[in-house]
A and B are shown apart, each in its own frame.
Chain A
Amino acid sequence: MKAGSRGRCWGHAERAMGARRRPGPADRFAVVVDHGDERTIVAVHGELDLANAPRLEAAIADERVRSAERLVIDLSAIGFIDSTGLRVILATSEEARASGQRFAVTRGGEQVQRIFAVTGADRRLEVLGSLDEA
Chain B
Amino acid sequence: MTSAGEPICARSNASPTDPNLTLELWSRAGDVVVVRQALAAIAEVLELSGPDVADIATVLTEACNNVVVHAYPPDEPGPLNVEFAFAPGLLVVTVSDLGCGIAAHHEEPRAGGGRLGIPMMVALARSVEFSDPGQRGTRVQFTFDVGTVESDLLLDRPAWTRRPQLAEDHVAAGGAIVTASPGRLAAVALARVARVLAGRARFTAAGLEDVDRVSRQIAREVAAEGPHRALTCGIVVAPRSIELCTFARLTSIEGDESAALEVSNESGITRAMLGAR
Contact = CB atoms under 8 A, between A and B. Distances in A.
Interface residues of A, number: 48
Interface in A78-134: 80, 82-84, 86-92, 94, 110-111, 114-115, 118-119, 121, 124
B259 to A, nearest CB: 15
Contacts of A6: 165, 167, 169-170
A26 interface: yes
A38 interface: no
A58 interface: no
Interface stretch (B147-155, B223-231, B238-246): B238-246
Given A10-B243, A17-B173, A91-B112, A111 B62 contact: no
A52 to B, nearest CB: 8
Given A23-B200, A90-B113, A115-B120, A80 B273 contact: no
A118 B124 contact: yes
A26 B199 contact: yes
B30 A110 contact: no
B36 interface: yes
Given A21-B174, A51-B30, A110-B50, A9 B4 contact: yes
Interface stretch (B53-61, B81-89, B99-107, B127-135): B53-61
A11 B245 CA distance: 10
Given A24-B201, A49-B32, A15 B238 contact: yes
Contacts of A118: 119-120, 123-124
A101 to B, nearest CB: 15
A13 B238 contact: yes
A34 interface: no
Interface in A1-26: 1, 3, 5-19, 21-26
Given A10-B167, A24-B199, A114 B116 contact: no
Contacts of B111: 87, 91
Given A13-B242, A83-B120, A1 B271 contact: no
B19 interface: no
Interface residues of B, number: 61
A50 interface: yes
A42 B144 CA distance: 35
A6 B226 CA distance: 29
B69 interface: yes
Nearest to B273: A12
A47 interface: yes
Contacts of B68: 50
B199 A114 contact: no
A95 B168 CA distance: 43
A80 B167 contact: no
Contacts of B65: 49-50, 82-84
A21 B200 contact: yes
B269 interface: yes
B228 to A, nearest CB: 24
B196 to A, nearest CB: 7
Interface of A: 1, 3, 5-19, 21-27, 47, 49-51, 80, 82-84, 86-92, 94, 110-111, 114-115, 118-119, 121, 124
5 contacts: A7-B164, A14-B236, A25-B199, A26-B199, A80-B57
Interface of B: 1, 4, 29-30, 32-33, 36, 50-51, 54-55, 57-58, 61-62, 65, 68-69, 109, 111-113, 116-117, 119-120, 123-124, 164-170, 172-174, 195-196, 198-203, 208, 234, 236-239, 241-243, 245, 262, 266, 269, 271, 273
